[in-house]
Amino acid sequence: MILLTHAVIGSVVASASPNPLAAFFFAWIGHYCADAVPHWDYSIKNLMAKAESGKSGLSAYINKNTATDLLKITADFAGGVFLTFSLFSPTGSAEIFLLAGGVIGGVLPDFLLFLEWIFPNPIFRRLEKFHASIHSKIKMAGFPLGWATQIFLIAAGLTIIFFR
């Protein structure tokens, strides 16, 4: 699932949470629930090739071959943050922290997978195995079917929040 979807789902969960810590925790759990639904992921083949090569360390991942993948990820995350704050239009610092807790909790599991590739260790490895065990094994093609589940999840969450 793309980061934009995880960010928006995280913010939907956050908007119903009593505080930023709860928002973070529930968005983190929501990430895994969303990943259990069949969906589409964009290709980050250069980063994946590095991960599968067994090379570790930041210098193995930050180079001209992975720049396109890193740019995709950055744009995806930025789009999620922009959409979240556009949809919810927080008016005060409490709302901003609440949404930020949801966005961070919603995308952190995927960021930790990236950290596991760069800095392998037992804790990240356990999280990666847990993530893989929950992640849908059904790979959907791009548009329209692969996007449909993500659009549906976002729409359902927003409907619940805005029309409750």
Task: Report the first-to-last Cα separation within the chain, whole angstroms.
Answer: 26
Query: What pLDDT score does 119 carry?
Result: 84
- Nearest-5° Cα angle at 127, 117 to 156: 105
Query: What pLDDT score does 100 carry?
Result: 96
Domain extents in the chain: 3-162
Which token pair is 46? 């250069």
Residue pair 102/90 in contact (Cβ under 8 Å)? The answer is no
Spans of the chain, pLDDT less than 70: 142-143
Query: What pLDDT score does 145 carry?
Result: 80
- Nearest-5° Cα angle at 141, 138 to 146: 80
Query: What pLDDT score does 143 carry?
Result: 66
Quickly tell me which residue has 């997978």 as its tokens: 113
pTM score, two decimals?
A: 0.91
